[in-house]
């Protein structure tokens, strides 16, 4: 059976993170063939592209989770903050989501993630 939603997975990936598929293929394709396809198909096709929750709210969830985990995956947190901004989150909404995580992941984790957000916002302003 064909899985037509996969096409929209790839398209959604490209819309939210332009160039992501090619960048992943170039960086990881030699050692993990098919990894870029899996990310598009899975993250975007099977999860972000699901009905039932709008994209903006999905990024609230993602930013909250990566913050509460301690911001140890800072590059990916920054990519998701940037994508969340594209999906409609204001800078203040991003900051509020992160700051609230002080209650669940601790204050150091929240401050750590706020610093990542400030870097994303500065890059936006620099454009």
Chain residues binding a copy of itself by CB under 8 A are 1-3, 6, 27-28, 31-32, 34-35, 38-39, 41-43, 46-48, 50, 52-53, 57-58, 60-73, 75-77, 91-93, 95-97, 99-109, 111-112, 114, 118, 121
Q: Which is nearer to a copy of itself, 18 or 38 (CB)?
A: 38
| φ, ψ at 61 (rounded to 5°) | -65, -45
Q: Which is nearer to a copy of itself, 25 or 57 (CB)?
A: 57
Q: Which is nearer to a copy of itself, 18 or 46 (CB)?
A: 46
Residue with tokens 């929209």: 8
Query: Do 93 and 31 contact (CB within 8 A), yes or no?
Result: no
DSSP of 69-94, one letter per residue?
TTSTTHHHHHHHHHHHHHTT--HHHH
């Amino acid at each position: 059976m064909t899985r037509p939603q996969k096409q929209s997975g790839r398209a959604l990936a490209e819309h939210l993170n332009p160039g992501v598929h090619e960048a992943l293929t170039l960086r990881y394709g030699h050692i993990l063939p098919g990894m870029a396809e899996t990310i598009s198909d899975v993250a975007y096709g099977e999860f972000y592209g699901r009905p039932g929750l709008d994209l903006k709210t999905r990024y609230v969830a993602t930013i909250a989770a990566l913050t509460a985990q301690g911001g140890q995956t800072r590059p990916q947190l920054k990519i998701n903050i940037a994508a969340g901004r594209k999906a409609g989150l204001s800078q203040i909404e991003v900051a509020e989501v992160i700051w609230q995580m002080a209650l669940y992941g601790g204050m150091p984790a929240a401050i750590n993630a706020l610093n990542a957000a400030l870097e994303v916002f500065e890059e936006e302003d620099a454009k």
